[in-house]
Structure 1
């Protein structure tokens, strides 16, 4: 049975190291969101660095998830002091579980505040794809599929929650 991979990406209005109350609020709420999502039915795993400090994404060791990567349109900093992005890479048993985790509970609350923290762009902010049971998706997989989605629209290779069709479901 295949597993569903999900990559999310957003450009923040200020760097992760910004000490402002708004940035702290984003981090505090993010911690609650991750704790809740990690207990959600259908959740399998998400990419976590093995030993990174807050805001250290590019130099961190992500293990089997591969080297951290971002879409070509990201044009802000890449150091712990200048990085201004939020990205996730996760694995799910099925689309319904991933959808429910994103659009209910604390994550839903965070989504209502996204424009306080994130820049508005013409780029998609998430992409989904099926991966074999024995594969761990990499950051580069997520980036290439998000860029494909932006350029070509939804397809079996790269789709969104709204773009789920019979063609995007794995074959038995």
Structure 2
């Protein structure tokens, strides 16, 4: 009887197969005062320079330049809620940006401008390189994280998940 060869599955990262995955990040904060208030001036003055630091950072891929399409009155989270989302090449590169350099200096001062939120205020997840993120998906990922805890679908720096893998026969 001829011996059958068993083909074993080989797991490789999506990037090795030419299907690139990037890291998406979303964070949300409730400001202590309306954004136009004098107490928020220092923070709002820092936004453009910090965005430039992000764009110049190793691993930065993309961020939206208009966060909310259409009428701001339809933003369901209120006028004092600030969001930020972006896409990065790797978890390590995003971590370096967030916790080192100029961003870290401002990040350490967040309590001056924003109230403490219950639950997670930031979510991370892997996206295909050609994905087009929108605010709804970002908010849904954060809600998923708060509802179920960290998972491959939404995680944190403290409990992260590796870049997706694709199983393909050998």
Same fold (TM over 0.5): yes
Q: CA 1:58–1:130 in structure 2 vs 1: closer, same or farther (change >3 Å)?
A: same
SS of match in other structure, 2:62: strand
Q: Once the 2 structures are TM-superposed, how far is the Cα of residue 69 of structure 1 from its aligned partner? A: 5.7
TM norm structure 2? 0.79
Asked whether the 8 Å contact 1:42–1:93 carries over to 2, the reply is yes
TM norm structure 1? 0.78
Count of equivalent residues: 146
Partner residue, 1:24: 41
Runs (5+) with no aligned partner, structure 1: 50-55, 62-67, 78-82
CA distance in 1, matches of 2:86, 2:40: 23
Q: Once the 2 structures are TM-superposed, how far is the Cα of residue 125 of structure 1 from its aligned partner? A: 1.5
Aligned-residue RMSD, C-alpha? 2.0
Check if 1:37 corresponds to 2:54: yes
Runs (5+) with no aligned partner, structure 2: 1-19
Asked whether the 8 Å contact 1:58–1:69 carries over to 2, the reply is no
CA distance in 2, matches of 1:86, 1:105: 22
Moved over 2 A (4+): 56-61
CA distance in 1, matches of 2:100, 2:34: 27
Partner residue, 1:48: 65
Q: Once the 2 structures are TM-superposed, how far is the Cα of residue 102 of structure 1 from its aligned partner? A: 0.8
Asked whether the 8 Å contact 1:69–1:143 carries over to 2, the reply is no
Q: Once the 2 structures are TM-superposed, how far is the Cα of residue 58 of structure 1 from its aligned partner? A: 6.1
The equivalences for 1:57-68 within 5 A come to 57=68, 59=70
Asked whether the 8 Å contact 2:150–2:159 carries over to 1, the reply is yes
Asked whether the 8 Å contact 2:21–2:163 carries over to 1, the reply is no
Larger radius of gyration: 2
Partner residue, 2:131: 135
CA distance in 1, matches of 2:111, 2:98: 16
